[in-house]
Amino acid sequence: MPPEATWRRFSYLELCRATNGFSENNLIGRGGIGSLYKARIGDRMEVAVKVFNLQYVRAFSSFNVECEIMKSIRHRNLIKVISSCSNEEFKALALEYMPHGSLEKYLYSSNYILDIFQRLNIMIDVASALEYLYFGYSTPVIHCDLKPSNVLLGDNMVAHLSDFGITKLLTREDQFVTQTQTPATIGYMALEYGSEGRVSTNGDVYNFGVMLMETFTGKKPTNEIFNEGMTLKHWVNDWLLISIMKIVDGSLLSREDIQFVAKEQWLITLCNNSW
């Protein structure tokens, strides 16, 4: 990054100008407690500005958590925080800009297609980020909200894990921590996390498995077909015994493909391992 981005905080006025007054034209996306804007700082640097909606009480703690976590961790598959802007009425983070947007956008838009190998590489990138968070940092970091919208794609489609607003830290002696609220996304969280408030690396790994199945099936875990006890995991498990063609994203597998048999066996192994 250019030197001017790394040695000081940005002012509200600078970010306002860089986003054209936080205009809808610069809006990249909205989340539970904030919005993300594309911004140009000076003449040559593009960044993403995450503006926290301070009407939500949780926004204050999320901003503090992200600042605390992101100032210390460094990995090629983690989003980088460049700088911040903070006062009593406004809090924002300037983040590394990801030109290809989120994995969710690519999975559910007719304008974008990810082949089987691109999807695999993206999931390997996310797994590499998680390995670093658990074993490469002084204190294990639990992300708590793994899902396609929090996986951002940079140059050469390299995946970067983002949104550390509800992240938890474990001491080396802890196997899990307990909390009263469960702000993670419904459909992705492990059962014990949702019902008991237990936060652990196992919960993240469960989230990762759900996201992996979603990535190769093209089905959200909140899809309307999953009701009355049926989940994405159970659906994959049941159909896998009958035909992989019933569950895999239609764009990934064709019987006319000369590599059909090899891809079919690989996907069966992948789905079996994911749950």
**pLDDT tens digits, 122-140:** 999 999 999 999 998 778 8
What is the pLDDT at residue 158? 97
Residue ranges covered by each domain of the chain:
3-96, 103-274
Reply yes or no on whether 145 is catalytic: yes
**pLDDT tens digits, 88-118:** 899 999 999 999 999 999 999 888 889 999 9
Q: Has residue 254 got a pLDDT over 80?
A: no
Q: Give me the catalytic one of 145, 163, 204, 249.
A: 145
3-state helix/strand/coil string of the chain: CCHHHCCCCCCHHHHHHHCCCCCHHHEEEECCCEEEEEEEECCCEEEEEEEECCCCHHHHHHHHHHHHHHCCCCCCCECCEEEEEECCCCEEEEEECCCCCEHHHHHHCCCCCCCHHHHHHHHHHHHHHHHHHHHHCCCCEECCCCCHHHEEECHHHCEEECCCCCCEECCCCCCCEECCCCCCCCCCCCHHHHHHCEECHHHHHHHHHHHHHHHHHCCCCCCCCCCCCCCHHHHHHHHHCCCHHHCCCCCCCCCCCCCHHHHHHHHHHHHHHHC
What is the pLDDT at residue 187? 78
The CATH code of the domain at 103-274 is 1.10.510.10
Q: Has residue 184 got a pLDDT over 80?
A: no
Q: Do domains 3-96 and 103-274 have the same CATH topology?
A: no
Q: Indicate the CATH number of 3-96 among 3.10.450.50, 3.40.50.11540, 3.20.20.60, 3.30.200.20.
A: 3.30.200.20
pTM for this one? 0.86
Instruction: Tell me which of 79-93, 174-188, 216-230 is least confident.
Output: 174-188
**pLDDT tens digits, 159-176:** 999 988 777 765 544 444
